[in-house]
Structure 1
Amino acid sequence: MNTPDTHSPVLEVQSRRRPLAWLVAIALVVLAIDLGSKMWALAELADREPVRLLGGALYLSFARNTGAAFSLGSGYTLVLTLISVTVVGVIIRFASKLRSLPWGVSLGLILGGATGNLVDRFFRDPGFLRGAVIDFFSLFDPYGQVWPIFNVADMALVTGVALAVLLELTGRRIDGTRAVKERKTAGPGTRDKAEQA
C-alpha cells in the first residue's frame, strides 16, 4: 500500500496556502466588519444618547479613542500608531513561514484588528497618524465606567492575542511543528524537539 509523500511539492504548496488563505480571509472579514460598523456608529450614534441593550448589559455609546485597545494608553497616539504599523509589518513578514492553521486564525484576527484601527489613525481627526479611533460598545454602563468602550477591531485583536498566547503555551509553532519535551532517560540535560503538528 502506497503512503503519501509528505515531502512532495504539491503537499508543500497546500500546507502553505491553506493557513495563509485563512489569515487573509479572516483579516479581510474583520476589517470589513470593523469599518462598516464604525461608519454605522458615526452616522447613527454620534449625536444621540447611548442605546441600552440586553437589560443594560450592553450599551451602544459613541466615543473617540486616542489610546490603544479598550482606551489604554490615551495620549500616546503617535507611538501606538507606530507600534500598530510594526505589528502589521511583522505579521506580513512571518506569513511566508506560516504552516499552522490555528496560527493563521490568530494572526488573521490580529492583522484585521490592527489594520481596522490603523485606518482610523491615518484618516480621522485630528490628523494623519494621530486620528482618534471610533469606539461604541460599552459593557454595564453607558459611558465606559465599568469597562472601557471598545469596537470590533479591539475584540479581534484581544481574541487573536489570547489565541497566540494559548498556541505558544501548548507548544504549537507558526511553521506547523509542535515543541515536545523529551523525557529525561539517562544522562544530563533535556532537549526540546519539534514534531509535525
Structure 2
Amino acid sequence: MSAQDVPPLPSGPAQAPAAQAPAARTPAGRPTVWLLAVLAVLVLAADIVTKVVAVAQLEGREPVRLLGGLVYLQLLRNPGAAFSLATGYTWILAVVAIAVVVIILRVARKLRSTGWAIALGLVLGGALGNLTDRVFRSPGPLQGHVVDMVSLLATNGTVWPVFNLADSSIVCGGVLLVLLALFGRELDGTRSSDRKKAPASE
C-alpha cells in the first residue's frame, strides 16, 4: 500500500489535555506552629521562675516599692482567676484552663499566620503557667492558689488587681486576638476581605 492510499486522519478539534489532578492541600505552616510552641514554653518558664523567686523573696515581707510607687512587689495567693476574679471557683477555673489548652492545640494544626501564632502562644503559655499553680500548689490538685506579685500604683491591689506574668501574657494575647479579628486576619494568614472578593469556583 502506498502512502497515497493511507486515508487521512479525521480532522477535528485538538484533543483536550488530560485533566490535572487536584492540587494537594498544603499542610499547616510548621514555622508558625513552632513559633507558637516556643513562645508558650518561654512564657511558661518565665512565669514559673518569677513565681519561685517571688515566694522565696517576698514571703512574709512588706511590699517592695519600685519606680517611685508605680509598681509594688507583694506576694499574694489567689484562688480565683486572672486579676483575682471568680474567687471560690478554683477547680472550675482549672478545668476551663485545661479546655483552653486543648482548644489551642487543636487550632494549631490549621495555623499559618504569624500574628495568630504569637497571640495563641501568649495565651497558651499564660494558661499553662496558672494551671501549673492550680495543679501543684497548695491546698491540693485543681485547688491550688495562683501566686501573684505585681500591684500597680498601690499595695493590695487597691488601684489595679494584683497579677503575675501569666496574667499579663493572657491579656496581651487576648488583645492581639481581638485586633487580628478586627483587621480580618485568618488563622491561615489570609484576610477575610480577600475571601469575599475571590470569585466562586466553577
CA distance in structure 1 between the aligned counterparts of 2:83 and 2:198, rounded to whole angstroms: 37
What is the CA-CA distance between 1:76 and the residue it aligns to? Answer: 1.0
| Greater gyration radius | 2
**What's the counterpart of residue 81 of structure 1?**
94
What is the CA-CA distance between 1:64 and the residue it aligns to? Answer: 0.2
What is the CA-CA distance between 1:8 and the residue it aligns to? Answer: 8.9
2:70 paired with 1:53: no
Give the count of matched residue pairs.
Answer: 177
Contact 1:135 1:149 (C-alpha < 8 Å) held by counterparts: yes
Q: Which has the higher strand share?
A: 1
What is the CA-CA distance between 1:122 and the residue it aligns to? Answer: 0.1
**What's the counterpart of residue 139 of structure 2?**
126
SS in 2 for 1:137: strand
What are the within-5 Å matches in structure 2 for residues 160-175 of structure 1? 160-175=173-188
**What's the counterpart of residue 107 of structure 2?**
94
Backbone CA RMSD of aligned residues: 1.9
SS in 2 for 1:172: coil
Q: 2:152 aligns with which of 136, 139, 143?
A: 139
What is the CA-CA distance between 1:193 and the residue it aligns to? Answer: 5.0
What are the within-5 Å matches in structure 2 for residues 1-197 of structure 1? 12=26, 16-180=29-193, 192-193=196-197
Cα deviation 1:6-43 (Å, max 9, x = unaligned) = x799xx56x61111111011101100100000000010
Point out where structure 1 has 5 or more consecutive residues left out of the alignment. 1-6, 183-191
User: Structure 1: which 4+ aligned runs deviate by more than 6 Å?
Assistant: none
What TM-score do the two structures reach when normalised by structure 2?
A: 0.83
What TM-score do the two structures reach when normalised by structure 1?
A: 0.85
Contact 1:177 1:194 (C-alpha < 8 Å) held by counterparts: no
Point out where structure 2 has 5 or more consecutive residues left out of the alignment. 1-22
Aligned-pair identity in percent equals: 50
